[in-house]
Amino acid sequence: MKIHTEAGERHVLAVTVDNEAGILAKITGLFSARGYNIESLTVADISADHALSRITIVTSGPPAVIDQIIAQLDRLVPVHSVTDLADGGAHVEREIALVKVAGSGDKRIEALRMADVFRAKVVDTTLSSFIFEITGTSDKVDRFIALMRECGLVEVGRTGVVAIARGSEAV
């Protein structure tokens, strides 16, 4: 017998929650307990009184599973709202990566040239290394990192995706 899995589509969820102890464990535990995917997850406090946090979750699944994820998140007591950013039309997604590249000679020059093409900033340098800061969609960050592998990539740190809907309305 083989175990079958269904193909899914990528969704970005914005979840507003009470900024309380254990909330992240509650959210991530829900995903692991019910077998949902987390491709990336970011969380930070977003209100002036530090009472609310916004969690941005990139997940994937068939439409029925995405609906379930939203309903399951929404019924958690500390969850205020769940928005599927793909649902509300266009949205903006950004991710930051810090990319450390070590080397000398042509590879070093090539790394700097490509960083310029990608509009990555140099935030630290030594005679034998750069740290680039790159901001963009996950795809763009992926492509930049792939190129840097050829130019002496030694370390990467990524934030995961934050996203917000276009237009004047709040979620």
For the stretch 57-79, what's the b/e string if a residue is b when 16 or more beta carbons lie within 10 angstroms of its beta carbon? bbbebeeebbeebbebbeebeeb
Which H/E stretch holds residue 161? none
Q: How far apart are CA 162 and CA 144, in angstroms?
A: 18
21 binds another protein (CB under 8 A): yes
Q: Which of 37, 68, 129, 137 binds another protein (CB under 8 A)?
A: 68
- Please answer whether residues 135 and 96 qualify as being in contact, where contact means their C-beta atoms are separated by less than 8 angstroms: yes
Q: Which of 55, 79, 101, 114 binds another protein (CB under 8 A)?
A: 79
Q: How far apart are CA 136 and CA 120, in angstroms?
A: 10
Comparison of 74 and 116: residue with beta carbon closer to another protein? 74
103 binds another protein (CB under 8 A): no
Q: How far apart are CA 45 and CA 138, in angstroms?
A: 22
User: Which amino acid makes up residue 105?
Assistant: G
75 binds another protein (CB under 8 A): yes
155 binds another protein (CB under 8 A): no
167 binds another protein (CB under 8 A): no
Q: Which of 5, 6, 7, 33 binds another protein (CB under 8 A)?
A: 33
127 binds another protein (CB under 8 A): no
Which residues sit at the interface with another protein, rule CB under 8 A?
1, 17-18, 21-22, 25-26, 29-30, 33, 64, 67-68, 71-72, 74-80
